[in-house]
Structure 1
Amino acid sequence: MTAPLFVAAVAGEAAHLPEGSDVLITGIGTLSAAITLTLTLSERRAAGNLPSRVINIGTAGALRDDHAFGVFEIDRVHKHDFQSAEIPGVTGEALPIAFEPETSGHFPTAQLATGDTFVEDSATRERLAQEAGLVDMEGYAVAAVAHRFGVPVTLLKQISDNADEETASGWAEAVDPGAVQLAKAVRLLADAVVTPA
C-alpha cells in the first residue's frame, strides 16, 4: 500500500512531520493548491502510485469562540467566495457545493469555509460563522482535487488566529507552534481507523 501524501500551503506548516513523510507544498490559495495537487496526482496516477490518502494539514482561523484552540478534523468544507447557483443552467451540471470527508473520531470536528481572502475583520468573521467554525485558503481545493482522483482525503486544521483584526500581525509567529500540534495529530492519526462521519 502506498503512503499518504501530506499537503500543506507553506513549508512551515509541515516542518515537524515525521522524518520521511511524503510532503507536497502547494503555495497559498485555492488556485495554487488545485494546480499543484492536480499535477502531482496526475503524474502519480500515470506511474500507478497514487497515495493511499491525501492529508491536508495547515492553519485556520477560528470563526467562533468555541473553536479557538487546538487541532480540528474537518467533516464538511465549502468555498465561501464562489456563487454557483446559476452554473447548472449554463452547463447542465451542478458543481459540488461542499465535501464531507471521512473522519477518524480522534479529534474534535468542525466545518470549514475556504476562500481566497485572508480573513482579518470581525464583520467577515461573523458572516462566515453562520455556516462554518473555521476558515482557510486551501481546504476546499484539496478536497475537490482528491475527490476527482478518487483518493480519500483528510483535513486537519490547527487554530492559528481568530480571523479578526489581530490576525495579520500574529499569523507568522503562530505557524511553527501550530506545526508542532499538527505533527502530534498526524502521529495519532497514523494509529486511527478512519470511519465514515
Structure 2
Amino acid sequence: MSDLTTLLVFAHCDEASAFADVPHLVTGVGKVNAAVALAAELAERPVQRVVVLGTAGVVSDAPDRPSLDEIYQIGAAVQHDFSLPSPTLVPAGEAILPAAATAVIATGDVFVQDDAQRTAIAGLGANLVDMETYAYASVCARFGVALQVFKIPSDFADSSTTGEEWDQIVFRKSEQLREFWAARLA
C-alpha cells in the first residue's frame, strides 16, 4: 500500500501508533474532524483508494457478536445520532474478508458507554459503533474514491466501558491492526 494512490487513515493518533514508519493521515475524532480532514486531503492530491484502520465498540449481543480479538471489514455504515433519516452508506472498496468477518457500523459523535444507548444502536442493525466511519464513507462517495474500512473492537460499549480503559487498550489494538495491514494490505 505504499503507492501514492492509496491513503491510509486513522481517526486517533494512538490508533496509528504502530504505523509511525508508514505514511498516513490522522483526521481527529468525530464526524466533523473526519470529514474535513479527509476532504482536504482528497482535494490536495489524487487518491484512488482510502483505507481506514481503527477501533470500534461492540453493540451486538447476538451469539455471533464481534470478537474483541478479530478485525472486521465494514460493509455498511449508518448514523445513530442524527434525528432525520439518513441513508445507509456502503463503502465502494473491494471486500477482502469473508462475510463472517464483516460488520455494520453505526457512527455518532459520542463515545458510547451506556447500556440503553448501546441497545438502541444495535436496533439499527449495527454490530459495531464508532465516531467517524459514516463521515469517511460520505466524503469518499462524493469524491468518487474507493473506501475500505477495517475495525478491531476495543470494548463492548456498555456501562462498564471507560475512556481510560480505551486509552490503555488502544496501543495493543494498533499493533493488531499493523499485523493485519502487513499480512493483508501492504
TM-score range, shorter chain: 0.7 to 0.9
Residue 43 of structure 1 aligns with which residue? 44
Matches within 5 A, 1:78-117: 78-85=78-85, 97-101=87-91, 102=93, 103-105=95-97, 108-117=101-110
Residue 2 of structure 1 aligns with which residue? 4
Alignment partner for residue 178 of structure 2, among 176, 183, 190? 183
Which structure 1 residue ranges, 5 or more long, are not aligned?
A: 45-49, 86-95, 192-197
1:57-81 CA distances to partner (integer Å, 9 max, x unpaired)?
A: 1110001242132211100111111
For residues 180 and 48 of structure 2, what CA distance do their matches in structure 1 show? 18
Secondary structure, in 3 states, of the residue corresponding to 1:83? Answer: coil
AA paired with 1:59? T
> 114-123 or 58-67, which moves further after superposition?
58-67
Secondary structure, in 3 states, of the residue corresponding to 1:84? Answer: coil
For residues 174 and 100 of structure 1, what CA distance do their matches in structure 2 show? 28
Greater Rg over alpha carbons, structure: 1
Cα RMSD over matched residues? 1.8
Secondary structure, in 3 states, of the residue corresponding to 2:14? Answer: helix
Aligned residues: 175
* 1:163 and 2:157 matched: yes
1:117-155 CA distances to partner (integer Å, 9 max, x unpaired)?
A: 110011111111121000000001011111111110011
Secondary structure, in 3 states, of the residue corresponding to 1:179? Answer: helix
For residues 127 and 84 of structure 1, what CA distance do their matches in structure 2 show? 15
Taking structure 2 as the reference length, the TM-score comes to 0.87
AA paired with 2:101? P
Taking structure 1 as the reference length, the TM-score comes to 0.82
